Structure 1
Amino acid sequence: MNFEPYIVSPEQYPLALSKSPYKPKVLYAMGTLPPADSEDSATHNGDGIPTTDERRGNAPVGIAMVGTRRPGPNAKILCKRLVESLRGTRAVVVSGLAQGIDSYCHEAALEAGIPTVAVLAQGLCTRIEGTRGELARRILEAGGALVSEFEPDEPAYKGNFPARNKIISGICAATLIVQSKAKGGALLTGEFTRKEGKPLYAIPGDFDSEVASGPNALLDRGLAKPVFTPESLRSILGFPKSESISLKELSLAGTHLDKATLDFFRRVNGFRKTFTELQSEFDFNISQLLTILTELEMAGLAHTDDNFVFQFDGVN
């Protein structure tokens, strides 16, 4: 595929950007941009995010997910669980294509089939080195987009990053800081989000964890709202639970469940079961049962609000 940068007209700025005080004078893009917010999407829920019924045509909603370039050891799993919770919603995952948290969130979105947009601090024709360049290519090939306010051949100067962070905030309806040190670009994005009056969320962490010091400080000062469980992000953002999906639709989408998981699902489909009940009805050990439940949740065939009672919904 051959992707060339193009100039986006102001009325076609993606998602919420055209309404943001941080909208740039010029915006370049590669790939397919999500549409601009409609004029009637000004009504919001209690957290400031347009609700599904209030968005004309169920328009997509940008969710910024940002963090440090040097995250903790379990960060990739954390990002995957956070992004997976948005499967089946109108969310578009927006981040900055940096190493670490940003790249993990883009990758998780690609794996989950969720649209993703990368905002760059350099021109779109400037070479992106290493695995980040490969990730940028995958985003474009999956139907996502790269955007930048900088001339196509401009390198990634240090002074470009605050402008990049403003666009990340401006595009999105809310921002989640996954992991950050006490100082960093993710916190700057969060500050821009707060100045726009948009919801800011953060993942709490251990008191002595360097990569949790930024989120913990925001939470301690009441500047962000906590997301304690990754799977709760969907409901915290106000997105409804997934609609029922058929096994045939899953297969066509490239999701294939193994025989044990399929047999399990066919027995429990349509029921609400506690974890204890599932243990008593099946001969799986705890590890096997948790693996099956996670697989079904990721496929949109099961959901839980408390990790104890599970609702199984699907069309056989």
Structure 2
Amino acid sequence: MTTLIRRTSGNRSRRPVWQEPPTPLGQGLKAVAFTVLVAGVLFPLWVILVTSLSSRETIARAGGMVVVPRGVDTSAYETIFAGGAVTRALWISTLVTVIGTAIALTVTVLAAYGLSRPGSLGHRWLLAYFLIPFLVYPPLVPRYLVVTGLGLKDTIWALVLPPAISVFNLVVVRGFFQGIPSELLDSARIDGASDFRTLARIVLPLSRAVIAVVGLFYAVSYWNVWFDALLFIDRNDMYPIQRVLQSYLLAGQAPHTSGSSSGVTMPPTEAVKMAVVVLTVAPIVAVYPFIQRHFVKGVLIGAVKG
């Protein structure tokens, strides 16, 4: 009887497998897997950067993409900025990203706050209305007719207003707002604070993580806008950077340089293409470290906690 009790207590004190300390073999396998994953992400970026800074002879010797650099040649970047098309496209994309992210965050936060309050007028019907396009994506032809009918074609508003709100981001922000203790909101209401004051002074300071993550999602979406530009933008001077990148990579168009090109040696096509890719990726890579601390917390919102 004593032996049975000892065995039972020993089995109860045994920890689950995921709570056991990692073995040296497990740590080694994790390190190898992590190294392979990081190399798989960084290697293409390295090849793109090195190729954009390579000369014609280096690219010809490598047979295309360059892995080992042999000198630095910035002629591809000089040619791109001399033409003005990429510079103008970068300005259009920056303008669309800043204005679109500001509008999308404002609309998402206001809608999520209203839908998160149980006593708000018609919040159940409005939530169902928002979920309809999330389940059934609107057809392309009616969307095109609406945008052109409103006179938004060939303007930045054709790239800003149609994707101004994401139902997924709305649901995420609404769920976070519902997790805020109701006692805080009730105390603010007792003190005479209006809904907008409560949102600005209490809800938003507690929601910096989720707003940073949703803002990053919106900013990346606006920066990478390409399909809407293909549909609604016909003027070359209104192309965003992704549309210019598509014309360089797929359509095979050469960058337009200002002035006469007689006697000027054009850089290799591969270097120009990779330079445009670098200019496209660099802004997002530069912004991400500033919101990384909020991003780690924000992506865990809604996770299972034990």
- Scaled to the shorter chain, the TM-score interval is under 0.3
Q: TM-score, normalised by structure 2?
A: 0.22
Q: Compare CA radii of gyration and give the structure with the larger one.
A: 2
